[in-house]
C-alpha cells in the first residue's frame, strides 16, 4: 500500500471491498498527540477484520486509538463505533447535526418519515411512495440497534486536533470535512468519489423543511475546489490525488443532468414520478428513494435558477419550463 506520511503525520487507510461502491474506506491517522480514526466503516465481519488486521499490520493496538471523528452519519461510515468503544472507550466527535441521526432519536426519525410521506405524495409517487414509507417505518424499529451507544461530542468549533473543520452539506445534511492545511490533505467522506458522482440526498432540515441538497452539494464541491488539496481521502473507491480536475467534472455533470431533466419537462413530462420513470426506466423501481431524490434535487436546482416553475394540482406538483 502507498505510504501516506508527511511532516510527522501518517495516514493508514483501511480499504474494505464493497460490491456497489467498490470499497468502503476509513482512515487511521497517526499524529503527534495520538492516533485518530476518521470514520468507522460498516458494521460487519469483513470491515471489522480488515480494520483489526490493518491495526496489527502497523504494530498498533486498538487501545492506541485516542479519538474517533466522523464525517457524516451514514451507516457505512459509523458502523464499527459501537464495537470499538465497547472495547476501548474513546471520545467520538461528530457534527451537532449528526447527533439525532446517530442516536436515532425517535421523534427525529418519525418526523423524517412524515417528511418523505408528504414528499412522495406531492411528487405523484402513488403506491411506490406508500411502499417506501412502510419500509421506512419498519426500519426505524428494526435498525434501532444501530444507534450509537457511546456519548458523542459535538464539534462546535471550526477546529479539531490539527484540522480545520469544514461544513460540506449536500450528500448528507450533517456532512463535514477535515482539512489538514499543513499537508494539503482533505478527509471529505462522500463529497467526492473517484469512480461515481456522489448523490445529493433529499433530506429535511431540523424543522422538516426540504434542504436544497444539490445546491449545497455544488457549494461544497466549490469549497473543496478552492482548497487546492493534494490528496482527498475519500469514503469509497480510490484515494484521489490532485482532485481539482475531477471536481470540475462533477460540477459540470450537475448542470448537464439538470439540462436533461429540463428537456424532458419541455417535452411535456410534468411530475417527478413521470420524470423519474422516463429518465431512469427500470432503475426507478429498483432504487426508488435514490431516484426520487435525484430528480427532486435537480428540479430544486432548476427552480432556484428560475428555469422551471411548479404548480400544485390536485395535491401533486407539476413542473413547467420557464420560457
Ligand atoms: Zn454517505
Q: How far is the CA of 314 from the centre of ligand 1 (A)?
A: 35
Q: Give tens-digit pLDDT for 104-141.
A: 999 999 999 999 999 999 999 999 999 999 999 999 99
Per-position DSSP letters for 202-267, written without gaps between them: --B-TTSPBP-HHHHHHHHHHHHHHHT-SEEE-SSSS-EESTHHHHHHHHHHHHHHHHHHHHHHHT
Return the closest-CA partner of residue 76 out of 24, 140, 22. 24
Task: State which residues have CB under 5 angstroms from ligand 1, the bound ion.
Answer: 74, 190
The model carries a pTM of: 0.96
Q: How far is the CA of 272 from the centre of ligand 1 (A)?
A: 24
Q: How far is the CA of 306 from the centre of ligand 1 (A)?
A: 29
Q: Which residues, listed in sequence order, are joined to residue 153 by a DSSP beta bridge?
A: 93
Sorted by sequence, the CB contacts under 8 Å of residue 198 that are 6+ apart come out as 170, 171, 190, 191, 192, 217, 250
Q: Within the chain, how many helices (H) and strands (E) appear?
A: 11, 15
Q: Give tens-digit pLDDT for 280-306.
A: 999 999 999 999 999 999 999 999 999
Return the closest-CA partner of residue 229 out of 174, 200, 191, 198. 191
Contact criterion met (CB below 8 Å) for 215 and 301: yes
| pLDDT attached to residue 2 | 83
Intervals of the chain under pLDDT 70: none
Strands across the sheet with 67-69, in order? Answer: 4-6, 9-18, 22-31, 34-38, 67-69, 92-94, 152-154
| pLDDT attached to residue 323 | 79
Amino acid at each position: 500500500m502507498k505510504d501516506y506520511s508527511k511532516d510527522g503525520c501518517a495516514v493508514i487507510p483501511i480499504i474494505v471491498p464493497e460490491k456497489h461502491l467498490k470499497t468502503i474506506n476509513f482512515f487511521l491517522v497517526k499524529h503527534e498527540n495520538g492516533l485518530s480514526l476518521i470514520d468507522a466503516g460498516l458494521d460487519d465481519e469483513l470491515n471489522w477484520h480488515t480494520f483489526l488486521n490493518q491495526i496489527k499490520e502497523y504494530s498498533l493496538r486498538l487501545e492506541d486509538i485516542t479519538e474517533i471523528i466522523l464525517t457524516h452519519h451514514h451507516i457505512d461510515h459509523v458502523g464499527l463505533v459501537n464495537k470499538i468503544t465497547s472495547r476501548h472507550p474513546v471520545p467520538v466527535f461528530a457534527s451537532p447535526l449528526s447527533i439525532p441521526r446517530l442516536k436515532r432519536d425517535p421523534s427525529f426519525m418519525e418526523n423524517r418519515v412524515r417528511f418523505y410521506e408528504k414528499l412522495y405524495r406531492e411528487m405523484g409517487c402513488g403506491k411506490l411512495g406508500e411502499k417506501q414509507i412502510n419500509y421506512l417505518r419498519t426500519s426505524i424499529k428494526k435498525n434501532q440497534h444501530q444507534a450509537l451507544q457511546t456519548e458523542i461530542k459535538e464539534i462546535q468549533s471550526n477546529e479539531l486536533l490539527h484540522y480545520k473543520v469544514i461544513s460540506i452539506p449536500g450528500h448528507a445534511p450533517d456532512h463535514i470535512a477535515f482539512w489538514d492545511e499543513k499537508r494539503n490533505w482533505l478527509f471529505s467522506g462522500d463529497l467526492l468519489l473517484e469512480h461515481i458522482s456522489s448523490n445529493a440526498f433529499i433530506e429535511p432540515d431540523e424543522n422538516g423543511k426540504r434542504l436544497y441538497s444539490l445546491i449545497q452539494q455544488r457549494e461544497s464541491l466549490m469549497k473543496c475546489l478552492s482548497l487546492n488539496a493534494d490528496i482527498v481521502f475519500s469514503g469509497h473507491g480510490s484515494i484521489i490525488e490532485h482532485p481539482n480536475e475531477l471536481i470540475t467534472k462533477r460540477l459540470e455533470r450537475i448542470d448537464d443532468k439538470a439540462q436533461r431533466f429540463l428537456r424532458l419537462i419541455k417535452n411535456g413530462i410534468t411530475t417527478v414520478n413521470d420524470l423519474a420513470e422516463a429518465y431512469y426506466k427500470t432503475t426507478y423501481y429498483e432504487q426508488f428513494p435514490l431516484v426520487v431524490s435525484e430528480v427532486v434535487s435537480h428540479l430544486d436546482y432548476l427552480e432556484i435558477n428560475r428555469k422551471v416553475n411548479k404548480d400544485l394540482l390536485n395535491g401533486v406538483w407539476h413542473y413547467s419550463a420557464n420560457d
